Amino acid sequence: MNVARVSIQTADFDLSQEVAALRAGDKRVGAVCSFVGTVRDRNDGSSVASMELEHYPGMTEKAVEAMIDEAHRRFDILGARVVHRVGLLQPLDQIMMVAVVSAHRGQSFEACEFLMDYLKTQAPFWKKEQTPEGARWVDARVADDAALARWGISAPNA
């Protein structure tokens, strides 16, 4: 498998192409699990006209790579790919995807959920939302102690 595991990009992505590349030629793959997140038109009770995502190049990729390494340690998976968009996005736009391949479905489901929980709570992204009240910058990481606890991960400030 010669597919990059992490891509932080402004361009949209095609899930079917990403999955095809991830599983290409690997006859051991019996399961593929994927998740695609999209931009909503509401957040924290306010309508959202658009959002702009930023990250620290190099640092963000390294953090996501470490998440994938941890998924490989915890689950019997053959590969994983994370694509996360940055820049200006509109409601309905695809914002990110996680895809995992394994021999059996259980490991793919668990690893995909693990990566999503880890990505949502730990990855260094920041977003600026355009709302009727004006623009607001927010840390894109969501405090979800229950999700972290499920995987045995301590909250950052615990």
Task: Look at residue 144 in the predicted model and tell me its pLDDT.
Answer: 66
Q: Phi, psi (5° rounding) for residue 121?
A: -105, -20
Q: What superfamily in CATH does domain 6-148 come from?
A: Molybdopterin biosynthesis MoaE subunit (3.90.1170.40)
Give me the helix-helix angle, 105-122 and 59-74, nearest 10°.
150
Kindly report, residue by residue over 122-141, the tens digit of the pLDDT: 888 888 888 888 888 877 66
Confidence (pLDDT) at 136: 84
What token pair was written down for 147? 């999700």
d(CA 112, CA 118): 10
Of 96, 103, 102, 101, nearest to 20 by C-alpha is: 101
Residues of the chain falling short of pLDDT 50: 1, 158
Q: What is the pLDDT of residue 138?
A: 77
pLDDT reported for residue 2: 61
